[in-house]
Amino acid sequence: ALINCVNVDVEIESKLNQVKDNNGKDHLKLGTPSYKYKIEKTTFDLKNLFNGNKELADTTLQFANENWQQLMDDLAPPAIKQIVKTVVKAINKFFASVTTQQIIKGYSP
């Protein structure tokens, strides 16, 4: 199965916190994010549905492509949530590897 989402826009908002590491150095860290997303369009390409019953498969595929928004209302939230979680984790990993002074010119605690 192939699900093709076109122009997915995810907006993440999070508080930026200041934390200290074990050596007392300042680092930035994203707090728990809120997010919203918009998907312009989705198309489905589903293969080998219903044990090769082409008529039933074609009807189902047509229904999915005509009603993509309703289907994505159920399918997208867990996927987007995982994407946001992964992005925030990657950003926080970066923030943990550099001090606030390295990121913000002229910063002094």
CA distance 28 to 18: 5
Where is pLDDT greater, at 82 or 53?
A: 82
Q: What is the pLDDT of residue 9?
A: 98
CA distance 98 to 34: 24
Percent of the chain at pLDDT > 70 equals: 100
Q: What is the pLDDT of residue 12?
A: 98
Tally the residues of the chain: 109
pLDDT tens-digit readout, 56-80: 999 999 999 999 999 999 999 999 9
pLDDT tens-digit readout, 35-57: 999 999 999 998 888 888 889 99
Q: What residue ranges define each of the domains in the chain, with the CATH number in brackets?
A: 2-103 (3.15.10.30)
At residue 1 the predicted structure's pLDDT band, cuts being 50, 70 and 90, is confident
Q: Which residue, among 109, 76, 100, has the nearest Cα to 5 in the 3D structure?
A: 76
Over the chain, what is the mean pLDDT?
95
